[in-house]
Structure 1
Amino acid sequence: MTFQFKNIDHIQLAAPTGSEDKARKFFVDLLGFEEIEKPVPLRQNGGVWFMAGSIQLHIGVEESFIPAGKAHPAFHVKNIEGLQDYLRSKNINYIEDDRLPGANRFYLHDPFGNRLEFLEWKA
């Protein structure tokens, strides 16, 4: 082959039209992502973009939004117990899952019902 996949450039999740402020409260205020500017030609589509480290997360808005049942991004976290403590202190519910050998992980849902996975691989 003459090509090579390098990494994921960004993840896009969907949300209902007009929910950009709700996305900001969740991803920036709660999870600590930074909002990044969308390119001018794409702003007319609505939505909002975020970044944490090298991870870009785009929220696209849809008039007839339905959250995916199983599809989800998985975020590799350093000190997952610290994240869980933080979420508990904010009264955010999450679902622990010990079915992946060698990993500590849990799920939570964003305000729109999208499932998010957080995991840390055991040494």
Structure 2
Amino acid sequence: MIAAVDHVQLAAPPGTEDALRAYYVDTLGMTEIPKPPALAARGGCWFQAGPVQLHLGIEKDFHPARKAHPGLRVVDIETYAERLAARGATVTWDSDLPGHRRFYSHDPVGNRLEFLEPDHPFG
């Protein structure tokens, strides 16, 4: 029985860990978490915010997905969008999901991320 999503894996090209750290920690406000030693040798980095984990793994022939993306629920989406924009990240608002405010952004290697907040989080 599936109980929850444990993490989302995204890919990145070799040698981009510092740029990923700058974006996921400084821009998004996540915390880097240590990878297990056996996996750390592969490169990449893992990040967490509350129960949400994003794992960035190194892929030699990396190409960012054009459509696939994690959807990350946020609180106070307007303020969060301002935070990203103030740190140089693109913020592209989209109004096509009824009952939600949402925008898209891309990390430094082109991974698409969706940020959303329900219009009425408590029903």
TM category, shorter = over 0.9
User: Matched residues, percent identical?
Assistant: 50
After superposition, what is the alpha-carbon deviation per residue over 1:34-84, rounded to whole angstroms, capped at 9, x for unaligned?
Answer: 010100111111111111110011000111100001000000001001111
After superposition, what is the alpha-carbon deviation per residue over 1:70-101, rounded to whole angstroms, capped at 9, x for unaligned?
Answer: 00000000100111122232232211100000
Instruction: Determine which of 51, 56, 61 is the counterpart of 1:54.
Output: 51
Q: Does 1:83 align with 2:80?
A: yes
Instruction: Determine which of 110, 115, 119 is the counterpart of 2:112.
Output: 115
Equivalent residue, structure 1, for 2:14 = 17
The answer as to whether partners of 2:102 and 2:117 remain within 8 angstroms in 1 is: yes
What pairs up with 1:63-78 in 2 under 5 angstroms?
63-78=60-75
- Runs (4 or more) in structure 1 with deviation over 3 Å come to none
Q: Residue 35 of structure 1 aligns to which amino acid in structure 2?
A: E
Q: Residue 17 of structure 1 aligns to which amino acid in structure 2?
A: P
With normalisation by structure 2, the TM-score equals 0.94
**Aligned length in residues:** 120
Matched position secondary structure for 1:64? coil
Larger radius of gyration, structure 1 or 2? 1
Q: Does 1:93 align with 2:86?
A: no
Unmatched 5+ stretches in structure 2:
none
With normalisation by structure 1, the TM-score equals 0.94
